[in-house]
């Protein structure tokens, strides 16, 4: 198992959180996604490390921006 934490910019409500969660969950290998609206934290648990570009693309598909890795 691999866990990575990112920061997402632009989320303002629960719907934003749901959109990001839905898109990132669809990335191959991802087993769990947690999103914190207040901090913008996106925690991704996967079977093995997932390329950040794939996570970034999923976040962009939801309409937001990945701005950092924690």
Burial pattern 24-41, b for ≥16 Cβ within 10 A else e, equals: beebeebeebebeeeebe
Domains, the chain, ordered by start: 2-69 (3.30.70.100)
Q: Is the pLDDT of residue 70 over 80?
A: no
pLDDT of res. 35: 98
pLDDT digits (tens, 9 = 90+) for 10-66: 999 999 999 999 999 999 999 999 999 999 999 999 999 999 999 999 999 999 999
pLDDT of res. 19: 98
Q: Is the pLDDT of residue 69 over 90?
A: no
pLDDT of res. 5: 97
Instruction: Give the DSSP H/E element, type plus range, for residue 34.
Output: strand 30-36
pLDDT of res. 10: 97
């Amino acid at each position: 198992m691999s866990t990575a934490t990112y920061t997402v910019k632009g989320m303002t409500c629960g719907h934003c959180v749901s959109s990001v969660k839905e898109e990132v969950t669809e990335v191959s290998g991802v087993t769990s996604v947690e999103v914190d609206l207040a901090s913008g934290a996106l925690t991704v648990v996967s079977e093995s490390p997932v390329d950040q570009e794939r996570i970034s693309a999923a976040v962009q598909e939801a309409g937001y921006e990945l701005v950092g890795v924690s």
